[in-house]
Amino acid sequence: MVCVFFLFHSKKKLSLAYLFVFFSFQAVLASGSENIRLNQIGYYQYGPKRAVIISSSAWRFSIKSVDSSTTYYTGDLKSPKAWPAADDTSEIADFSDFNLTGTFIIVVPGVGTSFPFIIGSSVNQNIARGLIKAFYYQRASTSLPAQYAGAWSRSEGHPDLNVIIHEGAGSDASLVNPRKAGDVFASPKGWYDAGDYGKYVVNAGITVYTLLALYEQFSGYFDTLSLNIPETASGLPDLLKEIKWEIDWLLTMQDPVDGGVYHKLTSLGFCGFIMPAADNDARYFIGKGSAATFDFAAICAVAYRIYNKKLPLFADSCLAAAQYAWTWGKVHPDSVFSNSYDVSTGAYGDAGLKDERQWAAIELYLATGDTAYKITADSLKQSYSLPSWQTVCGLSSYSLAYKKNDSASIAQMVNAANKLGGVIDSSSYRVPISNSFYWGSNSVVANDGMLFIEAFLATKKVSYFDWAVQTLDYLLGKNALGYSFVTGFGVQSPMNPHHRPSAADGISAPVPGLLVGGPNGSQDDVSSCTAYPTKLAAKSWIDVECAYACNEIAINWNAAAAFLAGAIEAIYSDTSYHVQSYIHDTVPPSLGAISITDVAADHVTLGWKTGVEASSSVIYGTDSLLLQSKRIFSTGTTAHSVTITGLSSSTRYFFKVSAVDYYGNFTEDSLRFFTTDSSMLSSGFTFDPAALKAVAGSDLKITFTDASGIAATLEYSSGGESGSSSILFVENNGTYSATIPGSDITSSGILFSITLLGFSDTVTTPVWSISPYETVEFSNTIQHSKTYGMVSFPSDFSSEYPATFFGSRLGKSSSWKYCGYSADSGKYIQNDSIRTGCGGWLYSTENATVVVKGKSLKPDTLFPVILSKGWNIIGNPFSYPIYWENAQVRYNNMVLRISDKAANQIVRRQLFRYSDTTSDQLNNGEYVSNTGILSADTTRLLPWLGYWVYAEKSGAELLFNPNVASPKFHGFKKPESSGNEWHIGLLASVNGNVDKAIIGASAGALDVYDEFDSPRPPSITSDVFIGLLEPQWHGATSLYSSDIISSASGNCHTWSMAVKTPVSGANVKLSWEKSGTMDGFVYLYDPVTGITIDMTQTHSCDVLLTLGETERELSVKVMPYTASVNIIPSSWNLSQAAPNPFRTSTKINYSIPIKSSGSINGQAVTLSVYDILGRRIRILVNEVKYPGNYSIVWNGADDFGKRLTQGIYILHLSANGFSGSSKIHVVD
């Protein structure tokens, strides 16, 4: 929800509807955590998103659905930092790259749960509209009809038709018909300045400028923004219409006799907290000074250029008034205003007037083009300073930068913005304020945000815009108090601002859209109001109406906040600004400058950077087309470096660098080259590996020629073997030879290299490979007859049909069955062709030996198999085991390792093999998988076996890699702590047939479909199936063999699980085994029988299907422990509060049982406090709760934070037909 106020046509409706909304949010507060501070309005889908976590020891956070049932994102918290002004140590949760839209919460184990927040588009539209609409609520001299003001409608106040000239405000007596003290003139319209009913020109100056600048710079957006205000100026956008209400009044504040401008229009003192219509005190034109006059001239000049096209006559009158005021100001450049003895309303006194004069001169120069004004402005030598009502030179910088692209003004703005941005980046809260908390500190923050917007418009650097967004975050909740400082917006916002209409209108909710002053370390009002709860500057704010030093409102504060929120919304709505910098799903990673270093005769080092963490690689070879090439990887970093070894000396190598990010976006650099150094050792080296021919079992002689006197060794290893052997070469007149024994020459092939050694140099050649050139026989005996098995066949052989292939090996077709699988059709193919690298299902009646004749693959071959989207049966084409994690994936010119994050979107990392050791002619084996992996995987693909793999893309190539090196884990960042990682293996069996599934939790997993989850592979035939149902992932009929959720603390999750069997009325035996640590309950619920089973206390159960029933859907729910006693209660209970009676706080315990039907679903629970007359005065709990034991602490306050008077009150618990009460005694 973006805001918490609504507009109604009657005050009676407001009281009920507002309370409903307020109570709804109170329920959120009860379950939320004030230790998670965030923008309570929300975040843009493709913008910066950060929250503050008050903790020094938390390390991970999750983003979940509001009901906590789904985890969408997990991340690590930034290192903790202290903020002395708040006495807080905090960590930052940065989820800027989380781009789902909706309403979410943040959960931090050990800290708590945040308020709900939204991620979407047009996030600031309502609050920008509200901040501007607040000026309508501040209108003087008019009634506010319910049609426009809703519940805050009121009668007209302060018509200001008979305003008296105060002593000292008269005209120059030497002029014709001067105005004099006691004369009466009209000065209607305008805005009440703050919490009082005065109208002040000086503060109107920066206010009107800020709003006019908002329109001028974003007119395309504000031309169509509706504020629901009366039609007072036909043809104007609502924003200009509202500003004109103030300018119309300002024009009446100019003395028509001499051109000077009255300082303010107020009574002699402040009235009480009454409505405008009840204030009948006399009103005066008070004072006349340079500050008011120059400010007036400036804003009238700005109004001329803004309104000139829409209301030319009005614009001309503004310009004439500005020039007339300038004339008076030239004669009175240093006329300082101060209150006279009989006036106690706001002074807005300012003794430094050069900045006002300069600002007026710049705006008149921009309005007229008269350089005389510019010369005057330059002579005053005013440099940029953050704008405020008393320091306005910065406003001229904004105008010059925007209208003239003035380089000096831009440089000053950018310098100030850079310094302020440095404060944000070094701040523990990522906010632009450190310890400068004084009167109106929120206004300073809002003007900081305006500076960032102006710097962004001048430079188009997105960093300034990001800082502006983080500045608004502070005002809307990411602050030391966890409050949104704008009335009516956010989960926690001020309810009692120092604002007379809000206090006197009889409505609980304050006028919406008002920015309060914010923390004030000086606490100037403490003597006349109440004590602050702390002396900490960042927390020196109280929500009481008498706190004028921290909780008053003011139009200049509101204008800056309206500019910031409105500008951000306008910029996001216009894609030409290119600020949506967190759209990662289509932008390829950048490749920085590529360095070539440490060039030697046999190696080189390459380095480069990617803009984001990416899977990167280098392909290299000696031909420019890279037809004969090798590849080396670098993953899991933004700063990449690889060293390529085994190069030939004095050789030019060509290479390309590529990178793929998490979202599969690919980029590739242009072709480059390097040349290796020469070496005396290899200058005469001659060797032709292609001339070698290997025969299995026969010695293999390796010969090369080179200069005499060189020592050389031969390093070799058999394919699939991690160890190596070394043989010295023997020289004969420059011919060197070494012989590999025939016992080492097998069908696995050989890898070898030559090392040349000199006195001061060593050179190692490339690694070559060779395998027996003739056809080799591979054989394997079927160990378990009369069973089904997934098989494949090693070596490189021609595709054959099963009748030919098996006919000569297994005998007549009645003794065997073979079928492949089509991912395209999702069906088995009887007697499918047999191909290298592919597999199928085989059933044999005998334990026969299968012999395959084919060519051995060289032990450095990357053997490709093309996959189709869906399930594919693959097989290891080599005669020895190979590591699955060394496999590579090629798709659309990208080459990735199977463990890379991006690869998981092409080919799933999980694989399955089938195991059946019972010779009973039934398919009653089970799938064995690596789905339990949470980090590195050392699974090896065995020859002769078949494996299921799932491809997310058709046309992807799986490259079998025989590299014997143990795989390094590159896929997912291993958490600093495993947290409560656990899983439950579920097994269903019917008549000896079994099937398995896995549920569990991992710190690295999400609740949506990710790399920890796997579809369920097809079975050749079975009498039982078990799987998890997630219809939103791939389809309503899809079953998943593993569904791993986030292990974030406090998680509640429900799995829908299906058991299926073609045997009608079967008794399905369910059993399970739990591993890992889980602090919570796990319950199995059968909706047909109503039975609920505690899976932590038992390990099996029977699911008896009814006659005709072949499928049953069950639920498995995990719930956190809700009390020290880890037992689900059997009945409802509302315990006596303790202590009782109480003064400061009391603890209330209550219990929620499993439903009578056996269901363990959540139930709507309400826990309320009533007085003895039956009036509900506090809602403590109003939300869905799961079965368990709960407690809540109550401080004795009502829903509005006010302490209850001494007496007896009633606690009432209600839910699902249950109703229980107990008495509680509050004492003073």
**Residue range 1133-1226, CATH number:** 2.60.40.4070
State residue 1121's pLDDT score: 65
d(CA 923, CA 708): 67
d(CA 323, CA 326): 5
Q: Are strands 750-757 and 768-770 parallel, antiparallel or unpaired?
A: antiparallel
Within 10 angstroms of residue 573's Cβ, the number of other Cβ atoms is 15
Q: Are strands 163-165 and 284-288 parallel, antiparallel or unpaired?
A: parallel
The question of whether 498 is a catalytic residue gets the answer yes
State residue 245's pLDDT score: 98
Catalytic choice (158, 498, 640, 1212): 498
Q: How far is CA 1127 from the centre of its chain?
A: 36
3-state secondary structure of 211: helix
Whether the CB-CB separation of 462 and 578 falls below 8 Å is answered with yes
Whether the CB-CB separation of 169 and 184 falls below 8 Å is answered with no
Catalytic choice (238, 258, 356, 543): 543
Whether the CB-CB separation of 27 and 491 falls below 8 Å is answered with no
Within 10 angstroms of residue 722's Cβ, the number of other Cβ atoms is 8
d(CA 1094, CA 529): 57
Q: What is the DSSP code (8-state) at residue 438?
A: -
The question of whether 196 is a catalytic residue gets the answer yes
The phi, psi pair for 326, rounded to 5°, reads -60, -40
Q: Computed from CA positions of residues 875, 877, 882, 884, in that sequence, does the dihedral angle turn out positive or negative?
A: negative
747 contact partners, CB below 8 Å, separation of at least 6:
696, 771, 772, 776, 778, 795, 856, 879
State residue 1002's pLDDT score: 81
Domain map of the chain by residue range?
A: 11-123+428-577, 139-404, 595-675, 689-770, 789-922+940-960, 982-1120, 1133-1226
The question of whether 552 is a catalytic residue gets the answer yes
For 1120-1177, write each residue's pLDDT tens digit: 665 444 556 777 888 888 888 888 888 888 888 876 555 566 678 889 999 888 888 8
Q: Which of 835, 956, 840 is nearest to 888 (CA)?
A: 956
The predicted model scores a pTM of 0.64
State residue 8's pLDDT score: 29
DSSP letters, 597-642, are: E---SS-EEEEEEEEEEEEEEEEEESSTT-SSEEEEEEEEEEEEEE
Compute and round to an integer the Cα radius of gyration of the chain.
39
d(CA 1049, CA 112): 9
d(CA 1184, CA 1181): 9
d(CA 144, CA 136): 8
CATH architecture of 139-404: Alpha/alpha barrel (1.50)
State residue 238's pLDDT score: 96
d(CA 1153, CA 295): 68
For 25-34, write each residue's pLDDT tens digit: 333 333 446 8
Fold of 11-123+428-577: Immunoglobulin-like (2.60.40)
Q: In what order do the strands lie in the sheet with 81-83?
A: 36-37, 50-54, 88-94, 81-83
Tell me whether domains 595-675 and 1133-1226 share a fold: yes
Q: Computed from CA positions of residues 1192, 1193, 1194, 1199, in that sequence, does the dihedral angle turn out positive or negative?
A: negative
Catalytic choice (160, 552, 569, 1007): 552
pLDDT below 70 — which residues of the chain? 1-33, 581-586, 783-784, 919-926, 931-937, 967-980, 1020-1022, 1032, 1034-1037, 1048-1052, 1120-1128, 1155-1162
Whether the CB-CB separation of 789 and 942 falls below 8 Å is answered with no
CATH assignment of 689-770, among 1.10.260.40, 1.10.287.540, 2.60.40.10, 2.60.120.260? 2.60.40.10
State residue 11's pLDDT score: 29
CATH class of the domain at 595-675: mainly beta
